[in-house]
Structure formats: structure tokens, C-alpha cells
Structure 1
Amino acid sequence: MADRTEDTGNRAPRPKRQNAPNRLTGLLYCADCGSKLTHRYTLVQGKWIEDAFICSGYRHLIHDCTMHHIPTAKIEAAILAVIQRVSWYVRHNEKEFTERVREASDQNQEKTVKECKQKISKAQKRHKELDGLVKKLYEGNATGKIPDKHFTRLLNEYDEEQTGLEASIAEWQRQIESWNADKLKTDQFIQLVKRYTDFSELTTPMLNEFIEKVIVHEGEGRGNDRRQRIDIYLNFIGAFEVPAHIVTPAEVEEQRRQQEEQAAKEARSKELEKARYEKRKAEKREFTARKKAGLLTPEELEAEEKRLAHNREWQKEWREKRKATEPPKPPKKKSIKELMELEKTGAELTPEETERLAEHRRKKAAQHKAWRERQKAGQPKTRTLKELAAAQKEGEALTPEETERLEVHKSRKKTAREKLVRQAETDPAAAAELAQKRAYQSEATKKSRQKMYAEAATGNPEAVERYENYLATRREAYHRKKQEITAEKTEQSA
């Protein structure tokens, strides 16, 4: 007992609750039961801090209601955002704001006035009925039909009901009379906005002057997916909503700030994940090195064996499950090489296999043809020997390669003719071939000469010049041959 007393004396005293009420107290209402939301304190690290608001009907079990929990910071941020948005809209679109507020106010007031008139009509009718009932009550009491006891009780009830109806009629009449006075509230709100120049922080005077009440609905979802509706009613104008397409500079700045915070948060998460990964990797390397060196303790070896056995079992189960869920694989198709071997052996192929083999061959043929065309296109065009001879005859300058080709061809042709002439002396077949070539050459020369004569006869300048050159060449050859014969005769006579 002494020890317990000593411990109790050494324990720190319980911190006191804050006495000052939260500035939002009295402004927040539950959307379901209509009760006010009360401020709840939470003990954190030995201090009472402002945490959130909850429905007083739920907290004190007055109504069958839910918690309607909302953090203080979030509700203040929402209120400040609404004040900033509406104030910016008023400053930059005052005329449009006035028209929208008055239009909404007229619609609401007309509906309210209509309801008030209907209620007044019903109340007046009931009041008149009560007058008749009171008159009949007096008559019944005077004639003795109604005892004094019942008379007194009924009379008091009728008086109370008439008094309540008169008060209600007066209140409804006051609302109707104040309809025109409500139109001045828009100007009052505009003047209120103009009195403030700084909306960066939610102050208590700003809160009291701008906010009439806040209706809090129950939240839906959990964690980051939690969504909660809040209806904020401003003084003079009620629950005014700025057009959705308007974006204020404060909202742009807030979006930028949130994006920066999100980016910083993601970068920090990546850094932490990378650090954890590097740490696990280093631990694994160290463990592997110790395992290879045989420095693990028996407990570590046993734990490692259990881990490996568990992994093997899990992988086996996973492979079996995947194999069971996979559809059966179709039979593997035979390769082109196998189909060619079967075709060589004379085995019968299916129509699909025959078509595959034919398609393969068509594809290969097309590829080979394309390759030949590419090779041909990549090589420079080479003139034929006939074209080279004609060009040389016309006096065109040939390249060294072309000249060499032509000379090699002439030399090869001359050598072949000389060989054929020698063979013709002893070989009848060679003699017949030589005679055939001479006849062909003679006929070709004759045709060429006739063609040249015909072209020169038409008066073609080129043909005439070619014909004259031909005649000059023949004359030179004739005189040269004649001189050679004369020289031979002179030598013989000498």
C-alpha cells in the first residue's frame, strides 16, 4: 500500500482542459438531426489539443445520430476557401454577383412569402373557428349542458390555441413585410467584402462577420478516399455558390502548392524506398558472404533452410496453380525444314502444311529476286562490246578500262580466227565452220554496204559523209595495195 501511494505521488498531474471555447463553436450544425457540433479535445503527448468537431446529439445520446466527425483544420480551411472565392468574385464581378444573389433571393423569398400567406390563411380560418367554438361553449355552459369544470378546461385550451395562432400570424406577417428589406442585404455583403483587404488567413472577426452557419453532413469512405459535404451559409446572402468555371488566383496558388507538396512527398517516398532497398540489399550481401564463408550460427542455418524450403514449396504450388489455370497448348507445328524432309521422303502432307511450304518458297523467291535487283541497281551500267566498237568508230573517247576490254576482245577474236584457219587446213569440220563464217561476214558486209548506199541516196548528211569516208578508205587501200604489188614486181625483176 505504501509503494502504491508513493507511485501515485510521483505521477505527473493530469493536464487541465482548455477553458476558452473554440471560435467555431455555435456555428456548426448537424445535417441530420440539427444539433450543434461540439468541440472534442484529445490528449496527445501530455497536452490537450483541438482535434475535431462531432455531433452533440451523437455524443450525448440525445438523438439517434451518427458522429459527423470533421477535423477543425479542415473545416477552417473550407470556410477560408469559400470566403476567398466569394470575395474575389464580388470584387471582380460585382454586377453579376448582385444579379445572381437577387435572383436567388427573389426565388427563395417568393416561395417563403407564398408559404407564409397560406399559413396565415389557415391560421385565420382556425382562429375564426375557435371564436365560434367559444361562443357555443358559453351557450352550452349557460344552458347547463356543459359543466363548469369542462367549460373552464376547454376555454383555457381555446385561449391558448388562439394566442399561439395570433403570435404565428404576427410572425408570418413580419416575414412578409421584411421581404423588401432583405434586398438590401446584398449591398451590405458587398460593403463587408470591401472592408477587408487581406483574406490570406481566417481571423475570428472575419469568421463572425462572414459566416452565419455551417451544415456538416456525414462523411463517406475512409482514409484518403473519404469525402464529406459541407454547406457554408454566409451572412446576408446564404449559401451562395460562385460559378464553377471561375478559378481565383488563390485557388491557382493552392493547387500549385498542393502539387508541390505531392511531388515532394512522392520524392521523399522514393528516397525512403530506395534507402530501404539498399539496406535490404546490403544485409543480403552480408548474409550471403557469411554463408559462403561458413560463419552462420546454427540458428541462422536452420532459419535459412526453413526459408528455402518454404520458397520451394510456394513456387511449386504457384507453378501447379498456373498450370491448372492455363488452357491446354495446341500441338506444335512442324518446321519448314521438317516439312521439306517429309516431302523428300514422299510422305503425304496435309493441305495446311502444303500451303505453308508453298508460301515459304514464294517468299524465298521474292526475297531472292529483290536481292538480285538490289545488286543490279548498285552496280554501274556497263556498255557492250558492240557499243564500245561503235563509239570508237565514231571517234568517241573511251575510258582506259573500256579500251582495254575492247583490245582484249579483238585480240581474243583474232587469236580464235587464226586458230580456226590453221585447223581448217587439216580438219574438214573447221574448214566448214570457217567457210560459214566467211560467208556470213560477206553477207553482213554486203547488207551493211547496201544500207549505207540507201541512206546516202536519201540525202542524209551523216549517211553521205559516212559513204564518202568509206569510198576514201577504199581508194587508199586500193592504191596502197597497188604500190605493194608494184614494189614486189620490181624486187623480183631486180
Structure 2
Amino acid sequence: ARMLTEQQIPTPGTLEYRRTGSTRRYHPGYECKWATNTVVHILENREYTGCLVNFKTEKLSYKVKHSVENPLEKQVIFENHHEPIIDTQTWERVQELRKQRKRPNRYDEVGLFSGILFCADCGSVMYQQRYQTDKRKQDCYICGNYKKRTHDCTAHFIRTDLLTAGVLSNLRKVTSYAAKHEARFMKLLIEQNEDGGKRRNAAKKKELEAAEKRIAELSAIFKRLYEDSVTGRI
């Protein structure tokens, strides 16, 4: 990202803006300012090898907007779908080299809420940010969309010490309620789990129907291409 920025290479969002006028990923004043996550996305994008990848992400719960990446075994990959930009061997070599890299962590610790804290407004994951004041070090969590300079959200953040205190306070209330009303508490948990299970099953069914529809569409396309090839139309 640093090298691309130094060489003043326009970002994908800048190129999209120049080509279509879309401001969705365009950041005035940062036309050639590359973010690390953009480079990572380019390096890890399997579709550059000519594949079509379906079901790359899913929502773990209907309560949050945030989607998580599916493991490879849950994804549906169609080989040779379009003209590749790079060959598969080069792409796989890049993935091997990336696995060997270890990013140094000067704090030697992972934030207590890292990966499980999401912005209430936009659903983006919130990232831990640390800074030094005149008197002491301060920790906070900041909205990922705001941190990446997108227009999807504003400067939402919360101090780690206040967040920890709030979580502990609520945990004490929950454990106190459970101790006093054990049967009622267990009933509430069972009802919530059943409701969540029904919603997850409905979501899985919807995904399956979408996959079957896509497979049927591709089969029809392949059939037409085969018939056109046999009859000499292509």
C-alpha cells in the first residue's frame, strides 16, 4: 500500500469515479492513497484466476448487518468462468507467501473485544485503536467504516475502559437474575435459541434455493453454448 501511494497509482475507487462518476468508493483528496485492506482484497481475490465464487459471506444472525467470510468448503466455485487476469499457480504462490508473513504486534496482545464488537449504526466491525496522551495510554474501539474513510458511517468510538465497565455491569445483572429466577432464565434462553434456529434454517434454505437457481441458469447457458457449437453458430 505504501509503495502504490508513493508511486501515485490511482485507487480502484478513484478509477471507478473517473470511469462512471460513482462516488461510492471515491474519497476526494485521497485519490492515490491506498489502504492495506484494499491491497489484501486484491491479493486474495480468487476470481482474478477466472473463477466465479458464490456464497463467499453469510450473516451469522438476523440481528446484525455484518457478514462474515465463509470457509472454503461452504463456497461454490465455478472454474474457467471468465478470462483470467493471472494464472492459478501464481495466485496460489501469493497465498503461500502471505501465510508465511507475520505481522508484528508491538503490544503482544489481542483486544478483549476484537472481532466481536460492531457499530450499532452501520454494522461494521469496530477496530481497537491505541494512543498516548500526556499522562497515560488510552484504548478505544472505532467504527471500521469511519476508520477506512468511507461515507457509510461517522466517527463512532467508545473507550475500552468504559466498554469493559458496561459489559461487566450487565454480566452481573444477568448472573444475578439467573441465580434468583433460574427456571425463568432457562426458559428465556431456550426460546431465544429456538427462534434463532428457525431464522438460521430459513436463511440456509434461501441460500440453497439461490444456489440451485444459479446452477440451473449456468446449466442452461452451457447447454445453449454446446448446441450453438454443434450447429456451427459459434
TM-score normalised by length of structure 2 = 0.47
Q: Higher relative contact order by CA 8 Å / sep ≥ 6: 1 or 2?
A: 2
Larger radius of gyration: 1
**Larger proportion of strand:** 2
TM-score normalised by length of structure 1 = 0.24
